[in-house]
Amino acid sequence: MTKDLIPAHGDLPEPLDLTVPEEARDDFLAEASRLKKVPVSDADLSTVYRFGDGALSPLTGPMDREVYDRVLEEEVIEYNGRLYAWTIPLAFPVTAELAKQLSPGEKVALVNSRGEIVATLELTDVFPWDKRKYLTRVYLTERFDHPGGDMVLKADGDKDYLIGGKIQVLPQPKHPRFGKYVLRPREVRELIRQKGWERVVAFQTRNPLHRAHEYALVYGLETLLRQGYNAGACLNPLIGETKGDDVPADVRMRTYEALIEQRALGDGDSDPALWGPRGESVPDRVILVGLDIKMFYAGPKEAVMHAIYRQNFGFTDIIIGRKHADAPYHDGTPIWGDFDAQEIFKRLRGDLKIKPLCVGFAAYYESVGRVDLMENHPNEKPVSISGKEIRAALREGRPVDPRIMRESTARILAEAMAQK
């Protein structure tokens, strides 16, 4: 490992690699076909693959009860005698009927919703799932009327047991449209080495970008450059299982591609005094990498998990903005405070090398003719437009205010809505 690359979580020089080599694929499938089949939901399938490629290092598979409960109680895992931050426990749900047929020490085949083998799991534990404890500890609320509650009590409503063990995983099939952007952690680390960047800040999103969203990435990159680092940024959208009302991943990826290819990212909102002397603009220092992970909509706890993934990919910093990984109760009231996801990093009980790069609210201000942090304009009213207004304009084919959203993003979203 080059000295300037951040270690993987667990102080590993490189992320683990638990994928089946191509030359062993036939033998692996022949053995797995004789094993008991355990189905994995589409939502959990990405977690299987992230165990495989090392994005969940230093874990070697889903957690047993002891590790699972310690995460709920203490927000840590222990590895090689040291404590590391970990805030959402990961194990695979099964029905009570299937759980009765499984025993620690047994090897099973994990299959997707089409019955295809995706991995094998050497079971270390089969244990009851205390769903209420899980929900109250992860979501920090006694209420269950939120997306996380729906996932556990409805989507997994018939599954009352969890399984843990050591996993071996087949490589994830490449999506025909955007698979080229979904890289393994070791591949992203090699890309960072090729760029020669000392610091790389990841910007996570599950939405098409408004200019205020863009500004968070611009702010993070410019912060590192001003500190004197040879720095880059990664536009790192989630493309795994998300809520039904989120914009589909293939549509979102087209909007991100356009922002970079048309060099619109940061246009008008970046600092010319910083970029001018460099002969560069923001897109010159941005890479686009999709991340296929399950979305928990767990606010502060999920922000830490998002940081762990990014450390394993080699990023040194992650932008944490307002309402990171947020979703409200079903009645629209907030579960957490606007900046709770930033505060949680101040009280971690285990090691985490990646740093949160905290960003406040941003908006377009006529006084400066660009997007800026609201804290810099305490007595000014920004240009504002609601998400509801944007969706209405897109549906009706009306232009969206370019001070709010880039023309290329609005056009792609409008076309997708018209086709739908």
As a whole number, mean pLDDT of residues 12-40 equals: 98
* Domain limits, CATH 3.40.50.620, in the chain: 179-291+354-419
CATH 3.10.400.10 location in the chain: 22-169
In words, the CATH class of domain 22-169 is: alpha beta
pLDDT of 373: 95
Inter-CA distances, 253 with 74, 203, 291, Å: 37, 14, 11
Sorted by sequence, the CB contacts under 8 Å of residue 288 that are 6+ apart come out as: 181, 234, 235, 256, 257, 260
Q: What amino acid occupies position 168?
A: Q
Q: What is the pLDDT of residues 324-359, one digit of tens each?
A: 999 999 999 999 999 999 999 999 999 999 999 999
Checking if the pLDDT of 307 tops 50, the result is yes
E strand residue ranges, 16-171: 36-39, 76-79, 82-85, 92-94, 107-111, 117-128, 161-169
Per-residue pLDDT band at 2 (split at 50, 70, 90): very low
> Is the torsion defined by CA of 189, 195, 201, 205 positive or negative?
negative
Give the CB-side neighbour count of residue 70, counting CA atoms within 13 A.
15
Position 418 pLDDT exceeds 90: no
Contact between 84 and 155 under an 8 Å Cβ cutoff? The reply is no
Question: How many angstroms separate the Cα of 136 from the Cα of each of 148, 152, 162, 231, 345?
Answer: 10, 12, 17, 39, 19
Per-residue pLDDT band for 248 (boundaries 50, 70, 90) equals confident
**Mean pLDDT on 226-233:** 98
Q: Can you give the pLDDT at residue 15? A: 98
Q: What is the C-alpha separation between 101 and 95, in angstroms, rounded?
A: 10
Rounded to two decimals, the pTM is 0.95
Name the one residue in this structure whose structure tokens are 């094998």.
Answer: 120
For the chain, state the CA radius of gyration. Answer: 22
Q: What is the pLDDT of residue 176?
A: 85
Enclosing H/E stretch for 317: strand 317-320
What average pLDDT does this structure show over 63-91?
A: 98
The pLDDT assigned to 309 comes to 98
Token representation of residue 120:
């094998």
Over residues 393-416, the pLDDT tens digits come to 888 888 999 999 999 999 999 999
Residue 243 has pLDDT above 70, yes or no: no
State the pLDDT at residue 245: 58
* Mean pLDDT, the chain, integer: 95
Pick the CATH number of 179-291+354-419 from 3.40.50.300, 3.40.50.2300, 3.40.50.620, 1.10.3720.10: 3.40.50.620
SS3 102: coil
Distance of alpha carbon 194 from alpha carbon 337, whole angstroms = 40
Give pLDDT tens digits for 121-132.
999 999 999 999
The phi, psi pair for 101, rounded to 5°, reads: -95, 0
To the nearest 10 degrees (0 to 180), the angle between helices 299-313 and 131-139 is 80
